[in-house]
Amino acid sequence: MRYFILLFLWLTLTAQSPAEEPVQIGVAEQAYGATKVTTNDKTKLLRKNDAVFLNDIVRTAERAGAEIKLLDESLFHIGPESELTLDEFVYEPERANNKIHAHLAKGALRFVTGRIALTQPNDMKVDFPSGTMGIRGTTVGAEVIGSRASVVLLQSDSRFVDPDHVGHIVLSAMVDGELKETHIRDIGFGSVIEGVGQAPSAAFPVGDDVIDRLMARFEKGRQESARQEAVRDSKTSAENFFGKKYVSVREKVTDEMSYRDRVRMEETKSTAAKPAVQEDEDTLVVTVDGEESEPGAKTHTSLEF
């Protein structure tokens, strides 16, 4: 009897339960360059109009990026070399317990609040390695380098009536078991957490050059996407006009011609660099560029003087 009980327990513990279906919470409005998404431990390239699911991890390479729109119309702009996890999303328009919770492990992020901010502005958070940003109905920029996190208030949301909720950020961190907070209410102001266990700085005006540098990070992905689309469009136009087979052959011929040109150039350089050596019966004569040296003159058999 004991044997059957143990067998039953072993079968129960080792039984493979079917994987849960992922819950869609948004869509990729844009995806630039080498942007990948991991869903249920499966990773793939993220493409424009792809569905985005709860607990997805979005990673971008250099000169890559993405724009993720959630069901409440909140918008995440993810910059190059970034990693964002969509930890929690609850949105039911008829209920009041809606929330957004994400984690920015590294890189740059610009976030525009959606409908959840109108009802639950206190339940919109983005975690960093060293703290948490609470977003109260606004557009914010954030950057994480190592354990250093910096945020800036970019724009307020005019839809709010309650002055306590109109466009501000709360940056917080735990310091020796105590929660430290900085409230940022003015556009163009920001705060910084220098590392784990450190309090956020007081709000300060962020220079235009710093904001421009942050915004430029998002433009890298757009520029790369535009370049790639231009290349694809050019190739597609050629394929439509000449035919796909012709284009592929043309590319191959061009590559071969380029290779032959490089070889020919190297051969020309090699020939020009070698002096012609001519031996007479009594005198060694060295010819360089067609000119013979005088008999008995000092000569060199190499061009390296």
Predicted confidence at residue 21, as pLDDT, reads 87
pLDDT, tens digit, for every residue of 217-253? Answer: 777 666 666 666 666 566 565 555 454 555 455 455 4
Domain ranges of the chain: 20-214
CA–CA dist 105, 209 (Å, integer): 24
- Determine the pLDDT at residue 227: 66
pLDDT in tens, 44-77: 999 999 999 999 999 999 889 999 999 999 999 9
pLDDT confidence of residue 206: 93
pLDDT of 102-122, one tens digit each?
Answer: 999 999 999 998 888 776 767
Alpha helices in the chain (DSSP H): 2-14, 116-119, 208-242, 244-273
- Which backbone phi and psi does 195 adopt, to 5 degrees? 180, 175
| Architecture of the structural domain at 20-214 | Sandwich (2.60)
Contact (CB, 8 A) for 203 and 193 = no
pTM more than 0.75 = no
pLDDT of 164 reads 52
Question: What was the pLDDT predicted at 269?
Answer: 59
**Separation between Cα atoms, residue 30 and residue 17, nearest integer Å:** 35
Q: Kindly tell me if the per-residue pLDDT of 99 is higher than 60.
A: yes
DSSP letters, 2-48, are HHHHHHHHHHHHH--PPPPPPPEEEEEEEEESSEEEEETTEEEE--T
pLDDT, residue 267, reads 63
Indicate if the pLDDT at residue 304 is higher than 60: no
129-141, pLDDT tens digit by residue?
A: 999 999 887 889 9
pLDDT tens-place string over residues 147-181: 999 999 998 665 544 555 557 889 999 999 999 99
pLDDT digits (tens, 9 = 90+) for 188-222: 999 999 999 999 999 999 988 888 888 887 776 66
Q: Which of 58-62, 123-127, 133-137, 182-186 has the lowest mean pLDDT?
A: 133-137
How far apart CA 200 and CA 28 sit, in angstroms, is 32
